[in-house]
Amino acid sequence: MSSGKKGRRLVFLGPPNSGKGTQAALLASHLGIPAISTGEMLRSAVEQGSDLGSKVESVMARGALVGDDLMADIVRERLARDDVKKGFILDGYPRTPAQAATLEQLLDSDLDAVVLIEAAEDVLIARALARGREDDKEEVVRERLRVYQEKTESLVAFYERQGLLHRIEGNQSIEEVQAEIGQSLGL
Ligand code: AMP
């Protein structure tokens, strides 16, 4: 994996509540690069009541995906900032084949690795309900999982074909998952 001038460019992929956000943040701070969570960017836009926030609020509340074009604008802008020059971790993007195509364009097909954190459906649902956030009502939890399976899961095969995929067992402690990621990426 490259760690040259442009730094490491990583994508974290996985179903909701797989722990990918936690792991992306841990690895990013270890590598000294930004973790870019599109979900967090959108949630903070909603909290701030910005134009973007009002556009995406109801879509997010029902567990659906924000449109690919709007997401492309958000990610294009974020990846144009200086702090990504030394590398970055994308958490929660791409989530559809169209988003993966946009990302290839934005990065000139120069991505180093995709980390997939997997866990069984019952584990994911139990975790979400235990966390009890407002958007974690069982109905929305199940919808988010269904949307992942319908729209995002095909990216696993897409990145596997490119030889970029690192499969990680997510049903372990945070420390164990972290260690497995480090080992898989050769860090
Ligand atoms: P997350 O925290 O990554 O689970 O994202 C929370 C919510 O934000 C998702 O359920 C979507 O409604 C929205 N979202 C985040 N990232 C994306 C994306 N790449 N494409 C579309 N919607 C997104």
**Test site for ligand 1: of 18, 23, 37, 38, most ligand atoms within 8 A of the Cβ:** 38
**Test site for ligand 1: of 59, 66, 131, 141, most ligand atoms within 8 A of the Cβ:** 66
pLDDT of residue 45 exceeding 50, the answer is yes
pLDDT of residue 6 exceeding 90, the answer is no
Q: What is the pLDDT of residues 89-121, one digit of tens each?
A: 999 999 999 999 999 999 999 999 999 999 999
For residues 65 and 75, the answer to whether their CB atoms sit within 8 Å is no
Expressed in angstroms and rounded, the spacing between residue 137 Cα and the centre of ligand 1 is 16
The pLDDT score that the predictor gives to residue 134 is 64
Helices (H), 80-120: 97-107
Q: What is the pLDDT of residues 122-176, one digit of tens each?
A: 999 999 888 876 666 889 999 999 999 999 999 999 999 999 999 999 999 999 9
Query: SS3 of 36, please?
Result: strand
Instruction: Judge residue 46's burial from the number of C-beta atoms within 10 Å of its C-beta, 0-12 exposed, 13-18 middle, 19 or more buried.
Output: middle
d(Cα 162, Cα 84) in Å, to the nearest integer?
23
The pLDDT score that the predictor gives to residue 3 is 45
pLDDT of residue 2 exceeding 60, the answer is no
d(Cα 83, Cα 122) in Å, to the nearest integer?
38
pLDDT of residue 4 exceeding 70, the answer is no
Rounded to the nearest 10 degrees, the angle between the axes of helix 68-79 and helix 38-48 is: 100
pLDDT of residue 13 exceeding 70, the answer is yes
The pLDDT score that the predictor gives to residue 52 is 97
Which residue puts its alpha carbon closest to atom 19 of ligand 1? 93
6/39: higher pLDDT: 39
Helices (H) and strands (E) in the chain, counts: 9, 5
The pLDDT score that the predictor gives to residue 129 is 87
* φ, ψ at 64 (rounded to 5°): -90, 175
As for ligand 1, residues whose beta carbon falls within 6 Å of it are 16, 38-39, 42, 59-60, 63-66, 71, 92-93, 95, 99, 144
User: What's the chain's average pLDDT?
Assistant: 94
Task: Quote the pTM value.
Answer: 0.94
Residue 177: count other Cβ atoms within 10 Å of its Cβ: 23
